[in-house]
Homo-oligomer: A and B are copies of this chain.
Amino acid sequence: MSSLRFARIAHESPDGIEPRVVASEPGADRWVDVRAAECRRLERGGASAVAARRLATALVPGSLTAALEGGTAFREAADRAAQEADPDTFAPEGARLLRPIDPPAYRDFMAFEEHFVNASRRFDREPAAVLYEMPVSYFGNAHAIVGPEDEIPWPHYTRAMDYELELGIVIGTPGRDLTPETALDHVLGLVNFNDFSARDIQGVEMSGGLGPSKGKHFGSAVGPWITTLDALDPNDLAMTARINGETWSEGSTSTLLWSIAELVAWASTGEPLAAGTLLGSGTVGRGCGLELGRTLEPGDVVELEIEGLGVLRNRLGTPPPSGWRPEPRERASAGAR
């Protein structure tokens, strides 16, 4: 396999927006449409135009997760497409980039020590011992993952919006009970990841010991593209966050308490890790407003930039005037026996 970048672009079709998987070698200045390249290759092998389209569509669907589920057959097609870089298969210049991965699952770790020490002390606590025993994580709502330039919906139940500067890890091939020695073979690549957070409700929820849920699930952003591991030095990538153009956060993947291989291995321990899964590293030290004593406002523009992974830019939406909340309950005298 060669070093690649993967993205998805929006194609306007008579049936609505159609996502297309595109790839390029890291230094290239144009994206190649992988399905179009595969179509042409099949026709050169004697396939009819209709059959070439049918086969290429099956191998390179618009979902990158579905494509990855095809295993090496898909990956080889992407490699060929990017290496040949036939101008007839270039994606249109200026095409809108969608979220590069449509993950079937998303798990967020808390793997930067400086962040969890700082965050704990904001609540007058020392970090829990378990954070040094294993990489602790929770699952988020994979259906709420958005892409570059997408607006982040501001839920009605929060006034304390925050960003989180994280490294995203995209799983390329499924696994279970991996070890750090085998884990990296299951990684497609890395991506900027912004785990937007509603700090007020998040703090309340976490006092219940589950989640968080509403503090996180309204929208996290990923993109603009995925760069394969072999094109990067994953242990030494500079990480930056800018709010309305001003640098708020600077960090490095070199400060991870657990290696990427350990995070992936532990994610797969005792449970299935699906192709296309998105893993978040957790926030780098001083990589969110909570640690800096700052909060975001509606309309703020947040940019994340990790070395080699481009710039992920999102604007915050506006809170709706109101919304439904559950009616609190009285404690029953019944209950415990």
Contact = CB atoms under 8 A, between A and B. Distances in A.
Nearest to A334: B114
Contacts of A258: 326, 329
Interface in A253-278: 257-258, 262, 265-266, 269-272, 274
Given A130-B208, A142-B105, A286-B337, A270 B114 contact: no
Contacts of A211: 136-139, 210
A212 interface: yes
Interface residues of A, number: 72
A129 B207 contact: yes
A153 B331 CA distance: 37
A250 interface: no
Contacts of A217: 139, 270-271
A336 interface: yes
Contact of A139 (B129, B141, B219): B141
A278 to B, nearest CB: 13
Interface string A149-162: 00001011100000
Contact of A113 (B140, B206, B274, B332): B332
Contacts of A110: 208, 210
Main secondary structure of the interface of A (DSSP, over half): loop
A135 B271 contact: no
Contacts of A44: none
A211 B286 CA distance: 23
B326 A262 contact: yes
A204 interface: yes
Interface string A124-150: 000011111111111111111000000
Contacts of A207: 128-130
B210 A138 contact: yes
A282 to B, nearest CB: 9
A82 B137 CA distance: 44
A118 B324 contact: no
A212 B211 CA distance: 7
A273 to B, nearest CB: 8
Contacts of A134: 205, 214, 325-326, 328
A155 B155 CA distance: 38
Contacts of A157: 269-270
Contacts of A328: 132-134
Given A139-B139, A270-B323, 6 more contacts: A105-B141, A153-B270, A179-B324, A206-B209, A206-B210, A210-B211
Interface of A: 104-105, 107, 110, 113-114, 117-118, 121, 128-144, 153, 155-157, 177, 179-180, 204-214, 217-219, 257-258, 262, 265-266, 269-272, 274, 285-286, 323-326, 328-332, 334-337
15 contacts: A104-B104, A104-B143, A110-B208, A113-B331, A113-B335, A114-B334, A118-B337, A121-B336, A133-B204, A133-B326, A143-B271, A210-B212, A214-B270, A217-B270, A286-B337
